[in-house]
Amino acid sequence: MALKIWLDGKLVDTEEAKISVFDHGLLYGDGVFEGIRVYNGRVFELDAHIKRLYESAKAIRLTIPISQNDISLAAEETVKANNITDGYIRLVVTRGSGTLGLNPFICKNGSIFIIADSIQLYPEELYEKGMRIISATTVRNHPLATPPQAKTMNYLNNILAKIEALDNDVPEAIMYNHEGYVAEASGDNILIVKDGVIYTPPAEAGALPGITRSIVIELAKEENLQVVEKNLTRFDLYVCDEFFLTGTAAEVIGIVEVDGRTIGDGRPGPITNLLRKKFFEYTRKGE
């Protein structure tokens, strides 16, 4: 069955979901987006995602042409129209159609489209056995260039790191900032465990403050686990007891090798497994 795409106020068939070649989102990556999960027919943490979407737009001086409530309703409408029970929403706001010049203020109206579909997760085997990753040579964008807290359409920095990972036959790569501190993975947030304490880079290091990350931190605190935001170095990753990633698609996944160094005993650790279990229960509550 063909998907229904929400485009600028109405649901249309996939073939009709088109934007102008003059849209600054296409020409320059000028826009913002959110990736949101659907569990058991419920849109997960929708308010938090919409709040971040509007903050990202404000940071790049992009006016979203409808209210937060209306865009939330549109997301839910799109999920229902496509009969999505467990899946993924991609919500995108572009600058809109303009000219070939850079001036964004020529674009009169932003364009919004919402896709609700199934999602390709990592294989279950990776969750059980853990993932191998590498350090990318691609440096995370300087915070004075593109603020890491803004989730913009310009993802080339992350894509180049992802290419490095795939070239090395692993699914993910760690990105470091211009000072050499850990920022994030190409598509996920980073958390490590050392001596029973969970450490994670702060947003200032170049990490997007992930919605999944924030939920996992709260779940950890409910288990009386200490969580500390601090700058981390490559050395910290090499010598930690546990290492895991969080993200909308990844949820919680353990890392067992970094740059050829085995983490812990080479299997996802007990705190990683506990938080993966707690997150699963949290997202599926009420089923």
Residues acting as catalytic residues: 151
Q: Strand 131-135 to strand 227-229: parallel, antiparallel, or no bridges (unpaired)?
A: unpaired
| Of 179, 167, 165, residue with least CA distance to 257 | 165
Q: Strand 227-229 to strand 10-13: parallel, antiparallel, or no bridges (unpaired)?
A: unpaired
Interhelix angle 46-59/68-81, rounded to 10 degrees, is 130
Residue the block writes with tokens 């992802």: 162
Q: Is residue 245 within 8 Å of 218, Cβ to Cβ?
A: no
Q: Count CB atoms within 10 A of the CB of residue 267.
A: 16
Instruction: Give the separation between CA 255 and CA 232, rounded to whole angstroms.
Output: 16
| Of 62, 249, 59, residue with least CA distance to 147 | 59
Instruction: Give the tokens for residue 175.
Output: 């990105």
The H or E element spanning position 90 is strand 87-94
Question: What's the Rg (C-alpha) of the chain?
Answer: 19
Residue 18 neighbours by CB under 8 Å, 6+ apart: none
Instruction: Give the tokens for residue 178.
Output: 């211009």
Map residue 42 onto helix, strand or coil. Answer: strand
Map residue 195 onto helix, strand or coil. Answer: coil
| Of 150, 174, 208, residue with least CA distance to 29 | 150
Residue 104 neighbours by CB under 8 Å, 6+ apart: 24, 30, 61, 62, 95, 98
